[in-house]
């Protein structure tokens, strides 16, 4: 049982972030919920879960703080930086302009 530092909610059903249980239980739930669409680049094929508020800051593993993402390059590029910075950096690396990313439904 853990207490979220931001919402004060008690999390009893979420497994610990590391290890096999995280990969087998939490990540598939996030991928199903988000239909496998990466929240950073907008493309299908996401294979991991990314924390909106970085775990290093919040220690919050609730589903409301998790979104589907590609482990590489998207989640690796982001690290613990902001989502907006990561989206701009990924768009730059993919050769997209800011104008072409306006239509992405983030």
pTM given for the model? 0.71
Query: Between 13 and 96, whose confidence is greater?
Result: 96
Residue 59 lies in a domain: yes
Residue 29 lies in a domain: yes
* Domain extent for 82: 2-96
Among candidates 67, 73, 36, which has minimal Cα distance to 51?
67
Residue 25 lies in a domain: yes
Number of domains, the chain = 1
Residue 92 lies in a domain: yes
Whether a cis peptide bond, with omega within 30° of 0, leads into 99 is: no
How many residues make up the chain in this entry? 106
Alpha-carbon distance 29 to 20, whole Å? 14
pLDDT tens digits for 4-51? Answer: 555 555 555 544 555 677 778 889 999 999 999 999 999 999 999 999
């Amino acid at each position: 049982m853990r207490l979220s530092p931001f919402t004060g909610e008690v999390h009893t059903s979420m497994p610990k972030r590391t290890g096999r249980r995280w990969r087998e239980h939490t990540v598939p739930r996030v991928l199903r919920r988000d239909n496998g669409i990466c929240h950073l680049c907008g493309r299908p094929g996401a294979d991991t879960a990314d924390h909106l508020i970085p775990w290093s800051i919040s220690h919050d593993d609730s589903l409301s703080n998790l979104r589907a993402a590609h482990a590489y390059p998207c989640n690796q590029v982001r690290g613990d930086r902001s989502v907006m910075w990561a989206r701009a950096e990924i768009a730059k690396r993919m050769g997209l302009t800011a104008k072409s990313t306006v239509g992405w439904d983030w």
